[in-house]
């Protein structure tokens, strides 16, 4: 099974996935890593690891044209699943439909609570006692696709956005590779908006 | 500290609270139990326990008039906190403002996810991996007030609405009395929409 990674920044979730792949813990390979930001540290890391790494420049392209370029690159590497890892662009319907239930994202909240930006800050401001993270398939909505895995973390009385984010990130780095493992083992079955994990 | 209970049905959360009060595990008393449904089993149970129990008939009264009647009864019993326990009526702004941050409710989801009716069914249909329950202060929105306590439960692959509801209910019966204990101990401090539990 071949993964394509899209990232815009440090790509810590990309690193968690790559470490599992490169050490043989995940039975798949990384076909390519694509970034829309030339200076993304995650892209630098991908190059260091000798992965096929591309900066695709979104400047002066509309979304459809840019997405088409990204899709073409993913196809050229025979990617089965696309993993968003801090990719700070919304995917158009053409992109989502080009990889139906084959695009994964991780979001730092227990969706459907707190979609969108600054999920950890939203959780703190709302005063919830628990938050967490969610690996989900990407659909055309905002963080709204079928949920594959979630993990829960406590919100502590003196948590700051930073401390809560760090606690959630640790769980992100655990469940994102775990979700990919389930896909590798063909144990993920999508039924409408529910995902069944086969035993 | 004196509690007033409002219920419309079996009142299983009322029973969980009352058992803690009547066995001396919660340092407060139940001033009165009020129902808008004459046949509510919870009201029957309150009578059996010898609590001050009232059916207040909402027929042919508008919400403001009915709420005023309920408020009057709660005041007559010097109630400090009002506990909703399956009370199937929305409270008007007059009611909420008559007991600012003194009305508690329990909701069978990890709010802000799945407010409103059939929260467990909503959770199953959404395909979340975790759900739970929330004790919160009541404001004029739908299940939107400041959160006091939450508990998490796993959603299992073969859960039905009934099995998930039962698992959540067990936690409801634990955290609702626990929230009341915190109030009795004056350890609950509301700061905007966040609730701080004092050590």
The minimum CA-CA distance between A127 and chain B, rounded to whole Å, is 5
Integer Cα distance of B12 and A26 in angstroms? 47
Which residues 124-163 of A are in CB contact (within 8 Å) with B? 124-130, 132, 146-147, 149-150, 152, 157
pLDDT of amino acid B46: 98
CATH number of B105-199: 3.40.50.170
Contact A144, A107 (CB under 8 A): no
Q: At how many degrees (to 10) do helices B12-22 and B41-48 cross? A: 10
Give the pLDDT band of residue B6 (cuts 50, 70, 90). very high
Could you give the ipTM of this predicted complex?
0.93
Contacts of A139 in chain B (CB under 8 A): none
Task: List the single residue in B111, B132, B157 with the smallest CB-CB distance to A197.
Answer: B157
The predicted-structure confidence for B23-76, as pLDDT tens digits, reads as follows: 999 999 999 999 999 999 999 999 999 999 999 999 999 999 999 999 999 999
- Fold classified for A1-99: Rossmann fold (3.40.50)
Please compute the mean of the pLDDT values over residues B103-126 and round it to a whole number. Answer: 98
Query: pLDDT digit of tens for each residue in chain A (199 aa)?
Result: 999 999 999 999 999 999 999 999 999 999 999 999 999 999 999 999 999 999 999 999 999 999 999 999 999 999 999 999 999 998 999 999 999 999 999 999 999 999 999 999 999 999 999 999 999 999 999 899 999 999 999 999 999 999 999 999 999 999 999 999 999 999 999 999 999 999 9
Please compute the mean of the pLDDT values over residues B114-123 and round it to a whole number. Answer: 97
Task: List the single residue in A127, A147, A152 with the smallest CB-CB distance to B152.
Answer: A152
pLDDT of amino acid A8: 97
Contact A9, A191 (CB under 8 A): no
What residues are paired with A130 via a beta bridge? A154
Q: Do A105-199 and A1-99 fall under one CATH topology?
A: yes
Mean pLDDT in chain B? 97
Domains of chain A by residue range? 1-99, 105-199
Whether a cis peptide bond, with omega within 30° of 0, leads into A112 is yes
The string over B130-148, giving b where at least 16 C-beta atoms fall within 10 Å of a residue's C-beta and e elsewhere, is bbbbbbbbbbeeebbbbbb
């Amino acid at each position: 099974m071949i993964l394509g990674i899209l990232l815009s920044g440090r790509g810590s979730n990309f690193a968690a996935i790559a470490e599992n792949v490169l050490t043989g813990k995940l039975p798949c390979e990384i076909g390519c890593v694509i970034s829309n930001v030339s200076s993304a540290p995650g892209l630098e890391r991908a190059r260091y690891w000798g992965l096929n790494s591309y900066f695709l420049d979104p400047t002066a392209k509309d979304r459809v044209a840019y997405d088409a370029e990204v899709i073409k690159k993913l196809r050229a590497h025979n990617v089965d699943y696309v993993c968003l890892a801090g990719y700070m662009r919304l995917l158009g319907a053409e992109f989502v439909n080009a990889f139906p239930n084959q695009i994964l994202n991780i979001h730092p909240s227990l969706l459907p609570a707190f979609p969108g930006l600054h999920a950890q800050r939203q959780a703190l401001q709302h005063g919830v006692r628990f938050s967490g993270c969610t690996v989900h398939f990407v659909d055309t909505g905002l963080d709204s696709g079928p949920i594959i895995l979630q993990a829960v973390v406590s919100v502590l009385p003196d948590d700051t956005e930073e401390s809560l984010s760090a606690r959630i990130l640790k769980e992100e780095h655990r469940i994102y590779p775990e979700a990919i493992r389930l896909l590798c083992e063909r144990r993920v079955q999508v039924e409408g908006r529910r995902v069944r994990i086969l035993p």
